[in-house]
Amino acid sequence: MAYALIALGFVLALNAAGAVNFAHGDLVVLGGAVAVLAGLWTGLPGPLLLPIVALVLGATGILAARIAIQPLAARPPEATFVATIALAAIIEQGLTVGLGAAPLTAPPFAGSGTIDIGGLALGRQPLAILAVGAVLVAAVWFLLERTQLGRRMRAVSSDRYMARAVGIPVGRYVMLSLALAGALAGVAGFLLGHQFLVAPTQGAGHMLKAYIAVAIGGWGSVPGALLGALGIGLFETFVSAAVGDAWASAALYVAVLAVLVLRPQGLFGEPVGRRA
C-alpha cells in the first residue's frame, strides 16, 4: 500500500510536469528522514507527525518544481530527466552528509507489536500503512474526481495549453500537483521507515518501483498506477517467498522489459495518445 502512495505521487507529478521526476524516490527517503528528526525533537506520536511530514515534503515538492521542473517545461523531456536526476543526487548526498549513511528507524505510526483480529496476529504498523494508505488514496480520488480543484488539475495534465487558454493558471496547478506528490511521497517514506528503515541510498529503488508501476499500469493513468503498485507489491511478496529477494527483483525487471517490448502501451492501455 505504501508503494501505491509512492506511485500515486509519482503519477501526479508526471502528469503535471509532463516528464518523469527522478527525484521522487528521494522525496520518499526525505519523508522518512523528516519523520525521524521530527520524532526525535518533538516526541509527538505518529498520527501527529504525519501532518508535519506531509507539510514539509509538500513544501519540498514545490521547491523541486521551482528548481528543476518548471523552468524546463518548454524543453524536451530529457532536460527534466537530467535536472531531476541531479536533484535526486543532491537530496541523497545532502542526507548522507547531514545524517550519515547508516540506516535510521522512523518512529512507528501506531505503536509496534501486534493486535489480534479474529485469531490472526497482525502487525500494528502494516495495518497502519494499509489504513493510512487507503484513506489517502480515497482522499486523492475525491480531490481529483469530485472537486473543482481536482478537475482543474486534471485539465492541466491533459492539455496545458488548452487549460491556459480557458484561464487556468497552469503554473500554480503544476506546483500544487507537485506539492501533493511530495506530501504523498513523504507520508509513504514515514510509513515505510519504521519497518524498512531510512537510508539515503533507498531513493533509486523507490523511484524505480514507482516508475515500473506507472509504466505497467499505463502511462499517466492514476488507477493504473495504483494497480501497478499493488501488482508489484504482491509480485515481490510471493516471488521472493519462493525464490529469494534477489531473484524476485530480477524477475520483476525481466517482466518489465517484457511488458515494454510486447505491450508498450502498458497492461491497461495509455489514456492519452502520446505519439510523436
Among 37, 59, 63, 67, binds other proteins (CB under 8 A): 67
Q: How far is the CB of 201 from other proteins (least distance, A)?
A: 9
| Nearest to 30, CA basis, from 266, 190, 228, 258 | 190
Among 37, 63, 85, 143, binds other proteins (CB under 8 A): 85
CA 44 to chain centre: 24
Our CA angle for 209, 215, 250, nearest 5°, is: 45
Q: How far is the CB of 141 from other proteins (least distance, A)?
A: 24
Among 43, 47, 51, 71, binds other proteins (CB under 8 A): 71
CA-to-CA distance for 106 and 37, rounded, in angstroms? 8
Among 162, 254, 269, 272, binds other proteins (CB under 8 A): 254
Q: Are 3 and 236 in contact (CB under 8 A)?
A: no
Could you tell me the sign of the dihedral formed by the alpha carbons of 120, 124, 130, 134, in that order? positive
Residue closer to other proteins by CB (options 123, 270) is 270
Q: How far is the CB of 50 from other proteins (least distance, A)?
A: 29
Among 5, 7, 16, 19, binds other proteins (CB under 8 A): 19
Q: How far is the CB of 24 from other proteins (least distance, A)?
A: 13
DSSP-derived 3-state class of residue 71: helix
Cell numbers standing for residue 249: 527483483
Helix residue ranges per DSSP H, the chain: 2-17, 24-42, 46-64, 77-99, 124-146, 148-158, 160-165, 170-196, 203-217, 222-243, 245-262
DSSP state of 272: S
Among 93, 112, 147, 158, binds other proteins (CB under 8 A): 93
Q: Is 161 exposed, middle or buried (0-12, 13-18, 19+ CB in 10 A)?
A: exposed
Q: How far is the CB of 125 from other proteins (least distance, A)?
A: 27
Residue closer to other proteins by CB (options 42, 201) is 201
Distances (CA, A) of 7 to 20, 110, 165, 187, 222: 12, 23, 30, 12, 9
Of 47-55, 80-88, 144-152, 235-243, which segment contacts other proteins by CB under 8 A? Answer: 80-88
Binding residues among 190-249 for other proteins as defined by CB under 8 A: 204, 208, 211-212, 215, 219, 246-247, 249
Scan for cell 525533537, then name that residue: 41
Q: Can residue 102 be called a binding residue for other proteins (CB under 8 A)?
A: no
Q: Can residue 75 be called a binding residue for other proteins (CB under 8 A)?
A: yes
Residue closer to other proteins by CB (options 40, 243) is 243
By CB under 8 A, name the binding residues for other proteins: 19-20, 67-68, 71-72, 75-79, 81-83, 85-87, 89-90, 93-94, 96-97, 204, 208, 211-212, 215, 219, 246-247, 249-250, 253-254, 256-257, 260-261, 264, 274, 276
